[in-house]
Amino acid sequence: MKKIIALALSLLMLTATLAGCGSSGTTLADVKKAGTLTIATSPDFPPFESLGENNAVEGIEIEILNTICERFGVTLTINQMDFDSVIPGINAGKFDLGVSGISVTEERKKNVLFTDPYCLAAQAIVVTAGSPIASKADLTGKTVSVQTGTTAEDFCMKEGYDVKGFAANSDAEAALVTGKVDAWVIDDLTAAEMVKAYNEENGEGSLVILSEAMTTEPYAFALTLGSDDLAAEINKIINEMVSDGSIAAIFEKYDAPYTAPHN
């Protein structure tokens, strides 16, 4: 009986601990006390995140976050990882923010809290020159490469395509150019950046982005559930930057077209 009582008490304590961890979240006061905003990102997603000089992470989202950190009076700490580890890390409370061109979906909302969107993006279809694939309808029965854990993967699987997932977009691109897949699905701005770089090296028109987009979806930053205070403070800055054109100016700096969100 004592063992049963002890076990019951242990389970109650564990349940209480887990409940407390899941509901507390992160506040702006926590961030200011730490003196830093800690983010998780997969820096293989230009122009949003990529590795620049001395392997420093740079890009559109990093510039937005630097502005947010300046307003908060803290520094930015960047943790690099594969994309499919970002949301689990946020869900576990290991980081303050997940940032990797993360699309807001109802499924993801079950695991993380999103800020207000800062832009709208689309999923693009990339094929090799001379491909018979000219539209989304032509993907039926074809093999498609995607980055693991992305909405591109979710969408293509729901559509019933033969999907091959890769940890990095560069590997998904390589699968296309080596003929292992028929098409590559990726966010449109990153597709434009990576296709341009590939074509400059291998010949104009080697890779082609189809004019028909897969989907349109909002981008936002992800926080641990319960971090409503921090999300509200970040939202104030994001909405101000959208309204005054600051975010549009950052996109322009990276030669990327900007579509404002419909908050």
- The pLDDT of 229-244, averaged and rounded, is 98
Q: Please work out, in degrees rounded to the nearest 5, the angle formed at the alpha carbon of residue 161 by the alpha carbons of 196 and 167.
A: 55
Residue 67 neighbours by CB distance under 10 Å = 16
Q: What is the pTM of this model?
A: 0.80
CA–CA separation, 221 vs 219, rounded Å? 7
Q: What per-residue confidence (pLDDT) applies to 205? A: 86
DSSP H helices, 25-112, are: 28-34, 60-72, 83-91
pLDDT tens-digit readout, 140-165: 999 999 999 999 999 999 999 999 99
Output the six-digit token pair for 80: 């690099």
pLDDT tens-digit readout, 106-142: 999 999 999 999 999 999 999 999 999 999 999 999 9
Which of these ranges, 98-102, 122-126, 214-218, 240-244, has the smallest mean pLDDT? 214-218
Greater confidence (215 vs 21) lies with 215
**246-253 vs 228-243: helix axis angle to the nearest 10?**
70
pLDDT tens-digit readout, 176-231: 999 999 999 999 999 999 999 999 999 988 999 999 988 889 999 999 999 999 99
User: What structural domains and CATH numbers belong to the chain?
Assistant: 24-119+219-253 (3.40.190.10), 120-216 (3.40.190.10)
